[in-house]
């Protein structure tokens, strides 16, 4: 049912009557949405029936996050970014460092272009990981898709992944019907994802019908992992212990491209365009959708007065070892690229590789009681 | 669309504005409604591909939603655009509750109960002890004078309370309402409440504008309600836009209280310490009837039908929507193995003193009527009065070392 009857009904109320109360809010959507923009967009809907109220609901329901400036809106399908561009373009610009509606995004998944990355000191760098998301063209996104669509996405993904071989040969574990033994193994491997509890996601409708058509695929080597129908159609993860980011990135690029080939053959390539790069549910993940990072021991550097500044200049961000919204434990931090849109995959991973290498050297200096003032980098 | 316009007109809201709007809304609707044709049309899947996986589910919706019914209803929607998928979402997302068989679906508006009757009627029948909306009618009786012996022994009954809900006809219910509709509910009800006088005179506290002091007072009085956290409610969309247009009204004497835009448009509560259920019920009826009169003066009315009584979001609250209860000390009886059977035969249910999903503390239980639909308010409160008196008798007998009897089950649908 593409027609959004409920939105038509809503039009009988005025803009003033419907405009959300954003007086307590601090997210990108609240900063950009005016009555004018709302008035202009409220009568529209994408071909699948997604409306501006659907886009902003999560931002209305979640006024702000204590630590990060959240985006406060989601896309329901590929067309959302076009139909609601008057709202989304300014949000994208705020979130992605001034990215303009006319800017072009570079995609580069040629792992040979990465310099170094195979020599991060494993005494400090405990593990390396690269993740991204992919949306499958022709389907609506997790905030909006129906059970039928979600199941079709799962079916297609299973077929595609089943045809992988060599280092990528693996198995799919649907959440529905998972045995206790399988579940425990996946938890022990740190692979199992849970039903989203964050209201940022639940208010956007991403947890509907859980766990229907959700699952986890991983290769036999347990170094390449795909989440199906969590926050995006697909989340693709390459990881391993130690500091060989080069190898992690190689496997990431090769695996992604193999998967893309297969989807294309089924006439369902990935959502991508010249301006926004890879199209994902949350505007924060546009572009590369890539988060490349390490778990690294920086007990001294992390308490240094200039730690935050160093990270900012290196275009990196820190998280606890439990991921976003967690605290670090024992001086071990998750350090990853801050950017997603406007630079390529190679460029972003290069920043991580170079930046982490520098920070490990700083840590070593601090261990020896030496100053690091001469090593503070310029803004990248 | 025609049906919703004519419904809007029949509300007799502000005839001046409506006559102006009548024409321009249609025009506006045609002008504003654009569709971008870029990209593929949304894939349509057959009903069989969309039918939810209910194999692990144990709620009333799951028990009655057959593939055939789903196929028949999945493309329908109410005039406001509420769909079957929306109605059942909460039941799909919440397979079951450990202690109660939940309903597993909600209504988005009054018309839901007609458009989705093929699913709702069997759900209602199961939930309300065989009440058949297709053949039976529901009695409404708010004449508190008919209640007999409504004064409990206060050595046992600590407090008495009666609550119900009311929905404002012409506006969508909490699972589906737009922000404008929710604000309209608030406006209409608060305006009506400002007309209450004497022992019912009171004040409104909007959740968005409340001062810290007011908030603390309301918490101390145990009046403040919180944003719903139960997934049964959040998955049904009832917490959207919180705390916009939500608030609490109470009279100066703090024994008549109205929640606005929580799980229903309004929840109306009469309560006081002690065992004078008769007075609580009298104030309940009088207050309700006053509020109804004040709303009607302004051109509105409550959602009510002969078939279903008062219409509320959750099918479990149809009919009277009434829960009359007491906090009562039953330390000995509650340990007797026959306690559950006695309650069941008396058509009573127990809860902890924190409300639904809580445990009893110190032998004090919340005892209230089980039924909502098919019997009138007077009949249900009488059931509570008679039942609680019986329980207190049992407790006294056990105190004296005497034996107690399990009473015969009372009749359904007198």
Domain assignment of residue B20, yes or no: no
B46:A148 CB<8 A: yes
CA separation, residue B252 to residues B187, B189, B255 (Å): 20, 17, 8
| Residue whose tokens read 């982490």 | A356
- Does residue B220 have a pLDDT over 90? no
Tell me which residue in B29, B46, B93 faces A210 most closely, judged by beta carbons: B93
Tell me which residue in A9, A19, A210 faces B80 most closely, judged by beta carbons: A9
Hey, of B109, B110, B178, which one would you mutate to test binding to chain A, going by the most A CBs within 10 A of its CB?
B178
Q: Are A199 and A150 in contact (CB under 8 A)?
A: no
Tell me which residue in A13, A82, A176 faces B180 most closely, judged by beta carbons: A13
The whole-number pLDDT of residue A99 equals 97
Domain assignment of residue B114, yes or no: yes
What are the backbone dihedrals phi and psi of residue B252, each rounded to the nearest 5 degrees, phi first? Answer: -60, -30
Task: CATH number of the domain at B267, please.
Answer: 3.30.590.10
B54 vs B61: CA distance, rounded Å: 9
- Does residue B353 have a pLDDT over 80? no
Chain B residues whose beta carbon lies within 8 Å of the beta carbon of residue A61: 239-242
DSSP code string of B170-220 = TS--TTT--HHHHHHHHHHHHHHHTT--GGG-EEEEETTT--HHHHHHHHH
Q: Are B258 and B194 in contact (CB under 8 A)?
A: no
Whether residue B116 is found in the same domain as residue B154: no
Domain assignment of residue B36, yes or no: no
Which residues, 6+ apart, have CB-to-CB distance to A110 below 8 Å? Answer: A253, A346
Beta bridge partners of B7: none
Quickly count helices (H) and strands (E) in chain A.
Answer: 13, 11
State how beta strands A44-45 and B34-35 pair: parallel
Question: Of the candidates B128, B162, B191, which is a domain's last residue?
Answer: B128
Whether residue B157 is found in the same domain as residue B216: yes
For residue A316, give the nearest of A297, A300, A339 by alpha carbon: A339
Domain coordinates in residue numbering, chain A: 5-96, 111-368
Which residues, 6+ apart, have CB-to-CB distance to A3 below 8 Å? Answer: A49
Average pLDDT over residues B261-288: 97
A42:B32 CB<8 A: yes
Q: Which has more pLDDT, B363 or B100?
A: B363
**Cα A54-A57-A59 angle, rounded to 5 deg:** 135
Q: Where are the beta strands (DSSP E) in chain A?
A: 44-45, 125-134, 170-174, 215-219, 224-228, 234-241, 272-273, 277-278, 291-297, 316-319, 332-337
A355 vs A359: CA distance, rounded Å: 6
Put simply, whether A5 touches B (Cβ < 8 Å) is: yes
Task: CATH number of the domain at B85, please.
Answer: 1.10.135.10
**10 Å Cβ neighbour count for B405?**
11
B393 vs B407: CA distance, rounded Å: 12
Whether residue B166 is found in the same domain as residue B287: yes
Q: Are A115 and A19 in contact (CB under 8 A)?
A: no
Specify the CATH number of the domain A111-368. Answer: 3.30.590.10
Put simply, whether A141 touches B (Cβ < 8 Å) is: no
Whether residue B270 is found in the same domain as residue B313: yes
How many domains is chain B built from?
2
The whole-number pLDDT of residue B413 equals 63
B394 vs B332: CA distance, rounded Å: 9
B240:A14 CB<8 A: no
Chain B residues whose beta carbon lies within 8 Å of the beta carbon of residue A43: 31-34
Specify the CATH number of the domain A5-96. Answer: 1.10.135.10
Whether residue B309 is found in the same domain as residue B211: yes
Whether residue B332 is found in the same domain as residue B206: yes
Q: Are B45 and A213 in contact (CB under 8 A)?
A: no
A151:B49 CB<8 A: yes
**A138 → chain B, closest CA residue:** B40
For residue B243, give the nearest of A196, A6, A63 by alpha carbon: A63
Whether residue B261 is found in the same domain as residue B359: yes
Chain A residues whose beta carbon lies within 8 Å of the beta carbon of residue B82: 6
Whether residue B114 is found in the same domain as residue B177: no
Chain B residues whose beta carbon lies within 8 Å of the beta carbon of residue A18: 178-180
Whether residue B115 is found in the same domain as residue B149: no
Percentage of the residues of chain B whose pLDDT score is greater than 70: 87
**B179 → chain A, closest CA residue:** A18
**Cα A287-A249-A364 angle, rounded to 5 deg:** 105
DSSP code string of B282-343 = HHHHHHHHHHHHHHHHTT--B-EETTTEE--SSGGG-BT--EEEEEEE-TTGGGSTTHHHHH
Put simply, whether A370 touches B (Cβ < 8 Å) is: no
The answer on whether A319 is annotated among ligand-binding residues is yes
Average pLDDT over residues B167-189: 98
Put simply, whether A149 touches B (Cβ < 8 Å) is: yes
Q: Which domain range does residue B368 map to?
A: 144-400
* Per-position pLDDT tens, chain A of length 380: 346 778 888 999 999 999 999 999 999 999 999 999 999 999 999 999 999 999 999 999 999 977 779 999 999 999 999 999 999 999 999 999 999 999 999 999 999 999 999 999 999 999 999 999 999 999 999 999 999 999 999 999 999 999 999 999 999 999 998 999 999 899 888 788 888 889 999 999 999 999 999 999 999 999 999 999 999 999 999 999 999 999 999 999 999 999 999 999 999 999 999 999 999 999 999 999 999 999 999 999 999 999 999 999 999 999 887 666 667 778 999 999 999 999 999 999 999 999 999 999 999 999 999 999 999 999 99
Put simply, whether A14 touches B (Cβ < 8 Å) is: yes
CB pairs under 8 A between A and B: 137
Hey, of A8, A9, A153, A269, which one would you mutate to test binding to chain B, going by the most B CBs within 10 A of its CB?
A9
Q: Which has more pLDDT, B183 or A190?
A: B183
Chain B residues whose beta carbon lies within 8 Å of the beta carbon of residue A147: 49-52
A209:B180 CB<8 A: no
**Cα A320-A324-A328 angle, rounded to 5 deg:** 10
Chain A residues whose beta carbon lies within 8 Å of the beta carbon of residue B28: 11
Chain B residues whose beta carbon lies within 8 Å of the beta carbon of residue A46: 36, 39
Chain A residues whose beta carbon lies within 8 Å of the beta carbon of residue B46: 148
| Residue whose tokens read 């919340």 | B366
Tell me which residue in A60, A79, A152 faces B38 most closely, judged by beta carbons: A79
A47:B40 CB<8 A: yes
B217 vs B199: CA distance, rounded Å: 20
Domain assignment of residue B19, yes or no: no
Question: Of the candidates B103, B128, B153, which is a domain's last residue?
Answer: B128
The answer on whether A131 is annotated among ligand-binding residues is yes
Put simply, whether A8 touches B (Cβ < 8 Å) is: yes
Beta bridge partners of B203: B250
Full-model pTM: 0.89
B52:A7 CB<8 A: no
H/E stretch holding A247: helix A245-265
- Does residue B331 have a pLDDT over 70? yes
Tens of pLDDT, residue by residue over B24-80, are 333 333 333 333 333 333 457 999 999 999 999 999 999 999 999 999 999 999 999
Question: Of the candidates B82, B101, B128, which is a domain's last residue?
Answer: B128
The whole-number pLDDT of residue B97 equals 73
| Residue whose tokens read 């737009």 | B178
Which residues, 6+ apart, have CB-to-CB distance to B212 below 8 Å? Answer: none
A5:B81 CB<8 A: yes
The answer on whether A293 is annotated among ligand-binding residues is yes
A1:B83 CB<8 A: yes
Domain A5-96 and domain A111-368 have a common topology: no
Chain B residues whose beta carbon lies within 8 Å of the beta carbon of residue A9: 1, 4, 79-81, 178
Chain A nearest C-alpha distance from B297 (Å): 23
Chain A residues whose beta carbon lies within 8 Å of the beta carbon of residue B179: 17-20
The whole-number pLDDT of residue B219 equals 86
Sign of the C-alpha dihedral computed for residues A109, A111, A114 and A118 taken in this order: positive
Q: Are A2 and A49 in contact (CB under 8 A)?
A: yes
A46:B75 CB<8 A: no
Q: Are A153 and A277 in contact (CB under 8 A)?
A: no
Whether residue B244 is found in the same domain as residue B365: yes
Contacts 24+ apart (CB under 8 A), B13-17: B13/B170, B13/B299, B13/B300
Instruction: Name the average pLDDT for chain B.
Output: 89
**B183 → chain A, closest CA residue:** A17
């Amino acid at each position: 049912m593409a027609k959004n009857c409920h939105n038509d009904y809503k039009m009988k109320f005025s803009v003033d009557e419907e405009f959300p109360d954003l007086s307590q809010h601090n997210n990108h959507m609240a900063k950009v949405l005016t009555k004018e923009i709302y008035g202009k967009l409220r009568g529209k809907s994408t071909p699948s029936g997604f409306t501006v109220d659907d886009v902003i609901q999560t931002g209305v329901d979640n006024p702000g996050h204590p630590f990060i400036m959240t985006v406060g809106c989601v896309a329901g399908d590929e067309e959302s970014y076009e139909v609601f561009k008057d709202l989304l373009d300014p949000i994208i610009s705020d979130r992605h460092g001034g990215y303009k509606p006319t800017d072009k995004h570079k995609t580069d998944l040629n792992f040979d272009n990465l310099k170094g990355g195979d020599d991060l000191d494993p005494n400090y760098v405990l593990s390396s990981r690269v993740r991204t998301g992919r949306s499958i063209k022709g389907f609506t996104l997790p905030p909006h898709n129906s059970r039928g669509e979600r199941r079709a996405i799962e079916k297609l993904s299973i077929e595609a992944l089943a045809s992988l071989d060599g280092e990528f040969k693996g198995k799919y574990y649907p959440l529905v019907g998972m045995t206790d033994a399988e579940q425990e193994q996946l938890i022990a491997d740190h692979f199992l994802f849970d039903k989203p509890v964050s209201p940022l996601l639940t208010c956007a409708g991403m947890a509907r019908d859980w766990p229907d058509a959700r699952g986890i695929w991983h290769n036999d080597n347990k170094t390449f992992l795909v989440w199906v129908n969590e926050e995006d159609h697909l989340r693709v993860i390459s990881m391993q212990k130690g500091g060989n980011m080069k190898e992690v990135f190689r496997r990431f690029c090769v695996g992604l491209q193999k998967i893309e080939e297969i989807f294309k053959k089924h006439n369902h390539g990935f959502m991508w365009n010249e301006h926004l790069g890879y199209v994902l549910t949350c505007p924060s993940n546009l572009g590369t959708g890539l988060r490349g990072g390490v778990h690294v021991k920086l007990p001294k550097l992390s308490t240094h007065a200039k730690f935050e500044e160093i990270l900012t200049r290196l275009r990196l961000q820190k998280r606890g070892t439990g991921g976003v919204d967690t605290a670090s434990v024992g001086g071990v931090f998750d350090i990853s690229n801050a950017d997603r849109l406007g630079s390529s995959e190679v460029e972003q991973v290069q920043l991580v590789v170079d930046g982490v290498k520098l920070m490990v050297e700083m840590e070593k200096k601090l261990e020896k009681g030496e100053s690091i003032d001469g090593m503070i980098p310029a803004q990248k | 669309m025609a049906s919703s316009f004519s419904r809007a007109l029949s509300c007799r809201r502000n005839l001046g504005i409506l006559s102006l709007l009548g024409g321009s809304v249609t025009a506006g609707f045609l002008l504003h409604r654009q569709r971008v044709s870029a990209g593929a049309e949304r894939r349509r899947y057959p009903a069989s591909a969309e039918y939810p996986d209910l194999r692990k589910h144990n709620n009333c919706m799951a028990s009655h939603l057959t593939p055939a019914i789903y196929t028949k209803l999945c493309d329908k929607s109410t005039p406001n655009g509420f769909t079957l998928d929306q109605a059942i979402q909460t039941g799909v997302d919440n397979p079951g509750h450990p202690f109660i068989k939940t309903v597993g679906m909600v209504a988005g508006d009054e018309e839901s109960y007609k458009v989705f009757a093929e699913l709702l009627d069997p759900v209602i029948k199961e939930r309300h002890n065989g009440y058949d909306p297709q053949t039976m009618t529901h009695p409404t009786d708010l004449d508190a004078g008919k209640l007999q012996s409504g004064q409990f022994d206060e050595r046992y009954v600590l407090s008495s309370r009666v609550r119900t809900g009311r929905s404002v006809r012409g506006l969508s219910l909490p699972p589906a309402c737009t922000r404008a509709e929710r604000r309209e509910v608030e406006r209409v009800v608060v305006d009506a409440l400002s007309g209450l006088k004497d022992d019912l005179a009171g004040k409104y506290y909007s959740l968005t504008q409340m001062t810290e002091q007011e908030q603390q007072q309301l918490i101390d009085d145990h009046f403040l309600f919180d944003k719903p956290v139960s997934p049964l409610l959040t998955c049904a969309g009832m917490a959207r836009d919180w705390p916009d247009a939500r608030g609490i009204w109470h009279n100066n004497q703090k024994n008549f209280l109205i929640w606005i835009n929580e799980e229903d448009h309004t929840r109306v509560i009469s309560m006081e310490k002690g065992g004078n259920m008769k007075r609580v019920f009298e104030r309940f009826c009088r207050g309700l009837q006053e509020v109804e009169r004040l709303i009607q003066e302004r051109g509105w009315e409550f959602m009510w039908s002969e078939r279903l009584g008062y219409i509320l979001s959750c099918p479990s609250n149809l009919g009277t929507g009434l829960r009359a209860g007491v906090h009562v000390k039953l330390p000995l009886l509650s340990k007797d193995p026959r306690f559950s059977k006695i309650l069941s035969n008396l058509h009573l249910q127990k809860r902890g003193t924190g409300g639904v999903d809580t445990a009893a503390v110190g032998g004090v239980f919340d005892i209230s009527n089980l039924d909502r639909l098919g019997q009138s308010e007077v009949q249900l409160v009488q059931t509570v009065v008679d039942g609680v008196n019986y329980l207190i008798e049992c407790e006294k007998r056990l105190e004296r070392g005497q034996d107690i009897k399990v009473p015969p089950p009372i009749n359904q649908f007198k």
